């Protein structure tokens, strides 16, 4: 389970590296000239999507012993999050196609291509902000179930609850007050928490006595 958390986090961060480089003032040309970077970034987004969906499915048999309704809610929230990640994987592919058309056109109408490109970039940017809603709802459910079940130390669950709450505030702040990039700092607590969580799961796993008591 810890490996899945690290895979999701790593693929998310790396996809930003590969997909961020072509985003420049000349992105209509840069996307086609950096095609390999774009495709690698998209593949990483697909890895992220698979990891995001796999985590709740694997956790469901454990969580349902404590609260089946919340366990189902957790699965639903993360599936919706995975759907958002899939949309963000499609957006750069469409930008790549648009960039190819722009480069190969003999006399491109720049305004047409720029308008289309701006809309595709905006789609990805807005989805990246709005997907914090299902992610945070899923995280709040996840850490509440961990706290309730004592599968992990409660300090780790409380940290996750605080981190998810902070990140959830990013949505209205990004929509009405600040630029989305300036609110990215709110993701730091939950990111560090997930790293610690993943390492804990890899080295120590869940509290086996708690699982065993629920299985009796």
What pLDDT, in 10s, does the model give residues 41-55? 999 999 999 999 999
Q: Give yes or no for residue 192 having a pLDDT over 90.
A: yes
pTM to 2 decimals?
0.85
Mean pLDDT estimate for the chain: 87
Domain boundaries, the chain: 2-215
Triad 72, 75, 78: Cα angle to 5°: 150
The confidence score (pLDDT) of residue 44 equals: 94
Beta-carbon contacts of residue 63 (< 8 Å; ≥ 6 apart):
70, 71, 74, 145, 149
Beta-carbon contacts of residue 94 (< 8 Å; ≥ 6 apart):
120
Q: Give yes or no for residue 208 having a pLDDT over 80.
A: no
Closest CA to 168 of 140, 196, 198, 197: 140
pLDDT band, very low/low/confident/very high, at 23 (cuts 50, 70, 90): low
Could you give the CA distance from residue 142 to residue 215 in angstroms, rounded to a whole number? Answer: 20
The confidence score (pLDDT) of residue 216 equals: 43
DSSP letters, 71-95, are HHHHHHHHHHHHHHHHHHHHHHHHH
Among all chains, which residue has been given the structure tokens 């869940």?
Answer: 206
- Per-residue pLDDT of 69-122, as tens digits, reads 999 999 999 999 999 999 888 988 998 888 888 888 765 666 778 888 888 888
CA 133 to the chain's CA centroid: 11
For 162, counting Cβ atoms within 10 Å of its Cβ (0-12 exposed, 13-18 middle, 19+ buried), the class is: middle
């Amino acid at each position: 389970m810890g490996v899945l958390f690290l895979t999701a986090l790593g693929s998310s961060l790396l996809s930003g590296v590969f997909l961020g480089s072509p985003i420049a003032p000349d992105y209509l040309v840069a996307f086609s000239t950096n095609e390999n970077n774009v495709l690698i970034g998209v593949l990483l987004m697909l890895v992220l999507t698979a990891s995001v969906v796999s985590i709740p499915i694997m956790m469901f048999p454990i969580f349902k012993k404590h609260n089946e309704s919340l366990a189902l809610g957790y699965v639903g929230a993360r599936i919706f999050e995975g759907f958002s990640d899939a949309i963000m994987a499609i957006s750069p592919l469409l930008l790549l196609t648009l960039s190819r058309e722009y480069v190969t056109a003999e006399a491109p109408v720049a305004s047409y291509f720029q308008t289309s490109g701006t809309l595709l970039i905006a789609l990805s940017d807005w989805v990246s902000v709005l997907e914090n809603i299902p992610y945070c709802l899923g995280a709040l459910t996840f850490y509440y179930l961990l706290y309730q079940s004592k599968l992990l130390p409660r300090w780790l669950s409380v940290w996750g609850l605080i981190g998810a709450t902070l990140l959830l505030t990013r949505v209205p702040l990004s929509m009405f007050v600040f630029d989305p990039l300036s609110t990215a700092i709110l993701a730091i607590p939950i990111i560090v928490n997930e790293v610690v969580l993943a390492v804990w799961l890899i080295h120590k796993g869940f509290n086996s006595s708690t699982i065993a008591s629920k299985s009796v």
